[in-house]
Amino acid sequence: MNEFDQLQGKGLLIHHWDADGICSAKLVIDKLGKKITTNKTPTLGNYFLTDEELKECKGFDFVIVVDMSLPEQNILHLAKESKVLIFDHHLGKVIKEVFHHNPVIKGEDPDEYPSASWIVNDYLENDVNLYGLLGIIGDHEQKIKENPHFSKIIDSFCKKNNITFDDLHKMAYLLDSNYKKGDKKAVEQAPYYLIDHPEHKAILENTTWNNNLTELDEEINTILDESINKTDSIILKTMNTKSNIISTITRKLAWTNNQDAVVVNKGYFDSEDQLYVRTIDNDMQPMIKKGKEYGFKCGGKKEVLGAILPKEKTESFVNEIVTYLSKQ
């Protein structure tokens, strides 16, 4: 008996746009079937719901949010007329007014809960499966190999199913290609594609997603070839792109150089900048807290900070982050 068994009526499912969000959504829909009448991801790049989106969330008996730490205000707004359930692993505070299942903010070790898909799958008491794992690989890529517990689970899954880690990695990239290309509709259709095409070959051979990947790889490599700024321990990069690839660029810069990376994209929004920070072994939590105090749209996990900043505030916040990282 769990919370899902008690849900009645029509449900809305809100999920993150990345592989973890899509896989978590797939697992929820598997469990609830037609009770989920609508699934939606926020405007790509926004970690919150706009007033207009909140209006579209009306008229449901329940709302399930997976792999997204929406602002408390958004959640309380939804909770006024629907039962709300959250399954997540991002940092934030517990929202007591709703069912909020996030072991990480309740003090559990994030290494034990590396993705929302794992948390959902575990909550549903499913066996280890492709979708539970793809969310992990989407969020952590090769880094998950440094996690002995999950590395073992992934290895044995691969052996049993006759696939490789690289296959799983590619599948996560294919799912992620939809949001990176800015295709919100495709993100929202993806959980149903996974449901209708249960074999892993169907993911690896999806033509649209493969074409996306080819185009994205080209753009990402061009950007990575451009100049970067470096201090002794930090990589700084400014770019200008309409693709949603800031987290990918930041990961690649941080991991290939084994240094903290701070990336600003001036080209995604008209009047705001995207900021993304990934640290190798610092803790971004104090800066996430600061960003929120300044009133920025800001969130993340221990190792990453993502924010959307009014253009005139970007420089000073970036400087503050660089100072913070340099002092550690």
The CA distance from 211 to 156, in Å, is 30
Nearer to Mn ion, 11 or 300 (CB): 300
Q: Of the ranges 3-11, 20-28, 103-111, 166-174, which one interacts with Mn ion (CB under 5 A)?
A: 20-28
Which parts of the chain are beta strand (E)?
A: 11-15, 36-40, 62-66, 83-87, 99-101, 229-230, 234-239, 260-265, 272-278, 297-300, 304-310
Q: Of the ranges 40-48, 98-106, 132-140, 313-321, which one interacts with Mn ion (CB under 5 A)?
A: 132-140
Binding status of residue 260 toward Mn ion by CB under 5 A:
no
Taking the complex as a whole, how short is the minimal distance between the CB of residue 319 and Mn ion, in angstroms? 29
Binding status of residue 203 toward Mn ion by CB under 5 A:
no
Taking the complex as a whole, how short is the minimal distance between the CB of residue 230 and Mn ion, in angstroms? 29
Binding mask 82-111 for Mn ion (x = CB under 5 A): ------------------------------
CB 176 within 8 A of CB 205: no
Binding status of residue 188 toward Mn ion by CB under 5 A:
no
In the Cβ-directed half-sphere of 308, how many Cα atoms lie within 13 Å? Answer: 14
The CA distance from 19 to 11, in Å, is 22
Nearer to Mn ion, 81 or 146 (CB): 146
DSSP 138: H
Backbone phi, then psi, for 48, in 5-degree steps? Answer: -160, 170
Binding status of residue 20 toward Mn ion by CB under 5 A:
yes
Binding status of residue 67 toward Mn ion by CB under 5 A:
yes
Query: Closest Cα partner for 138 from 26, 234, 46?
Result: 26
Q: Of the ranges 53-61, 138-146, 170-178, 274-282, which one interacts with Mn ion (CB under 5 A)?
A: 138-146
Under DSSP, is residue 310 helix (H, G, I), strand (E, B) or coil?
strand
The total number of residues shown for the chain amounts to 328
Size of the site for Mn ion (CB under 5 A): 4
Q: Which residue is nearest to Mn ion (CB)?
A: 20
Query: Closest Cα partner for 308 from 279, 260, 266?
Result: 266
Taking the complex as a whole, how short is the minimal distance between the CB of residue 51 and Mn ion, in angstroms? 26
Nearer to Mn ion, 176 or 188 (CB): 176
Nearer to Mn ion, 117 or 265 (CB): 117
Nearer to Mn ion, 28 or 223 (CB): 28
Taking the complex as a whole, how short is the minimal distance between the CB of residue 67 and Mn ion, in angstroms? 4
Binding status of residue 116 toward Mn ion by CB under 5 A:
yes
Query: Closest Cα partner for 263 from 199, 215, 322, 187?
Result: 322
Taking the complex as a whole, how short is the minimal distance between the CB of residue 66 and Mn ion, in angstroms? 9
Binding status of residue 139 toward Mn ion by CB under 5 A:
yes
Query: Closest Cα partner for 99 from 88, 113, 86, 108?
Result: 86
Contacting positions for Mn ion (CB under 5 A)? 20, 67, 116, 139
